[in-house]
């Protein structure tokens, strides 16, 4: 990664975020997202923004899984979805 991002300021920190469909998040991911939610709250003033961040991620995972599940069915002639 240093070859690609070597010229960026050391002020930037890269945090991989991985979420399992039927599992929990890694402790580092939970800490990062909680910290991000706190920073969003500090900017917006809405104490629920941290919770909304986790809810948005949950909805994104559900939508992605629905798309994957839908694509496992064979396509029927003449039906576009």
What's the pLDDT score for residue 37? 93
* pTM confidence score: 0.64
What's the pLDDT score for residue 74? 82
For residue 33, pLDDT beyond 80: yes
- Which of 28, 27, 31, 22 has its CA nearest to residue 58? 22
The answer to whether 59 and 49 have CB atoms below 8 angstroms apart is: no
For residue 42, pLDDT beyond 90: yes
What's the pLDDT score for residue 78? 59
């Amino acid at each position: 990664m240093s070859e690609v991002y070597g010229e960026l300021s050391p002020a930037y920190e890269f945090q991989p975020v991985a979420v399992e469909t039927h599992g929990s998040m890694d402790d580092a991911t939970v800490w990062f997202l909680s910290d991000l939610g706190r920073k969003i709250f500090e900017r917006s003033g809405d104490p629920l923004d941290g919770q909304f961040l986790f809810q948005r991620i949950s909805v994104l995972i559900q939508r992605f899984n629905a798309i994957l599940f839908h694509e496992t069915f064979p396509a029927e002639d003449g039906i576009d979805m």
